[in-house]
């Protein structure tokens, strides 16, 4: 049995972009500016710009999924990007500070919604998949997983990146 | 409408739903929050006059499916409407929730209009 998900890497990235735009336009009333997209190996933080220095990912939420293929959707943000997402979801004024635990919760919910939108577009056509609850700071490298697509984007303040990881097909 | 119970493990989402209820001009006397199905059942026990429930599906401890199942053992769909608010639109878990007695569902991300449409049959 081969890969039960027949969506190409390019299609997965397109689905990912649509899912992110759907969530950001509907729930944050924010347009995003795409910085980079692709399906290269490695964490999406590599695509985050930071004025010539390595980007500092301050917040990370991981939503695992299970089904014909197991995997996860990872949302990573700079501190400014995370604060921007939290303010957008909570409809707070620019510059308004949000407590860290509320920022983390907002990042988790944002990742959850992006994962749900992506699941509807890219996974559900290929079988029954289930999403897990968001986890924080757990996207350590795993040799059994590979990147199926990633994109990085800029918001009104700060940057964020989303990546889809999938385990290698168990059935050979 | 008397009391509304919002069950979601994300405090952000509970705040968003409360804000959208106001934006949608849905008259609510009081909103009670719970972080999962277990807390939701406890809130229902303490507030028997809750008239409408909005519940997430994916939650720790007790998910929305088991929560609906537990509610339907004591309340009919007419007595206590339950609307699922979920990222899993059209997925297997939503279908299961509907089969177990949820009155409807709203997909995240949502607009105030989609919340209003889902709640209209149950609010004055």
CATH of the domain at B49: 3.40.50.2300
- Suggest the residue from A18, A59, A133, A135 to mutate for an interface test with chain B (most B CBs closer than 10 A): A133
Q: In this model, does residue A44 exceed pLDDT 80?
A: no
Write down the pLDDT at residue A17. 94
Q: How far is A3 from chain B (nearest CA, A)?
A: 21
**Distances from the Cα of A99 to the Cα of A47, A77, A82, A86, A87, angstroms:** 27, 16, 11, 10, 11
What's the burial of A13, exposed, middle or buried (CB within 10 Å: 0-12/13-18/19+)?
buried
* Among candidate residues A31, A15, A25, A39, the one with its CA nearest the CA of residue A118: A15
Question: Among partner residues B19, B89, B110, which is closest to A120 by beta-carbon distance?
Answer: B89
Chain A residues touching B13 at Cβ < 8 A: 109
Write down the pLDDT at residue A158. 87
- Put simply, the answer to whether B91 touches A113 (Cβ < 8 Å) is no
Write down the pLDDT at residue A10. 86
pLDDT in tens, B6-47: 999 999 999 999 988 888 777 777 899 999 999 999 999 999
Q: How far is A163 from chain B (nearest CA, A)?
A: 18
CATH no., domain A9-138+148-167: 3.40.1550.10
pLDDT in tens, B70-123: 999 999 999 999 999 999 776 788 889 899 999 999 999 998 889 889 988 888
- Chain B residues with CB within 8 Å of chain A CB: 9-13, 15-16, 19, 58-60, 86-93, 107-111
DSSP state of A122: I
Chain B residues touching A105 at Cβ < 8 A: 10-12
Q: Considering its fold, how many domains does chain B have in total?
A: 1
Q: In this model, does residue B1 exceed pLDDT 70?
A: no
Residue indicated by tokens 């406890």 = B42
Q: Which range of residues forms the domain containing residue B64?
A: 3-122
What ipTM was assigned to the predicted interfaces of this complex?
A: 0.90
Q: How far apart are CA B63 and CA B55, in angstroms?
A: 9
Domain boundaries of chain A, sorted by first residue: 9-138+148-167
The per-residue b/e assignment along B58-83, b for 16 or more CB within 10 angstroms, e otherwise, is bbeebbbbbbbbbbbeebeeeebbbb
**Distances from the Cα of B78 to the Cα of A4, B6, B82, angstroms:** 42, 18, 10
């Amino acid at each position: 049995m081969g890969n039960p998900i027949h969506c190409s890497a390019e299609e997965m990235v397109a689905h990912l972009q649509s899912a992110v735009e759907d969530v950001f336009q509907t729930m944050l009333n924010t347009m995003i500016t795409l910085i980079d997209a692709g399906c290269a190996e490695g964490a999406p933080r590599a695509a985050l710009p930071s004025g010539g220095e390595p980007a500092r990912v301050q917040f990370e939420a991981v939503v695992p999924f299970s089904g014909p293929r197991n995997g996860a959707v990872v949302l990573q943000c700079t501190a400014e990007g995370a604060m921007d997402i939290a303010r957008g979801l909570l409809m707070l004024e620019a510059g308004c500070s949000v407590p860290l635990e509320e920022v983390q919760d907002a990042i988790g919910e944002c990742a959850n919604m992006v994962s749900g939108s992506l699941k509807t577009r890219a996974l559900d056509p290929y079988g029954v998949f289930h999403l897990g609850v968001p986890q924080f700071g757990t996207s350590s490298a795993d040799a059994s997983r590979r990147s199926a697509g990633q994109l990085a984007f800029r918001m009104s303040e700060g940057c964020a990146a989303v990546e889809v990881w999938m385990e290698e097909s168990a059935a050979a | 409408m008397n009391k509304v119970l919002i069950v979601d493990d994300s405090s952000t989402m509970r705040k968003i739903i409360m804000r959208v209820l106001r934006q949608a001009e849905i008259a609510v006397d009081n909103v009670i929050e719970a972080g999962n199905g277990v807390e939701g059942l406890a809130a229902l026990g303490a507030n028997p006059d809750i008239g409408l429930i909005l519940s997430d599906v994916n939650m720790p401890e007790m998910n929305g499916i088991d929560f609906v199942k537990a509610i339907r053992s004591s309340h009919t769909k007419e007595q206590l409407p339950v609307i699922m608010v979920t990222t899993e639109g059209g997925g297997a878990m939503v279908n299961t929730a509907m089969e177990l007695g949820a009155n409807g569902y709203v997909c995240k991300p949502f607009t105030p209009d989609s919340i209003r449409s889902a709640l209209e049959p149950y609010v004055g």
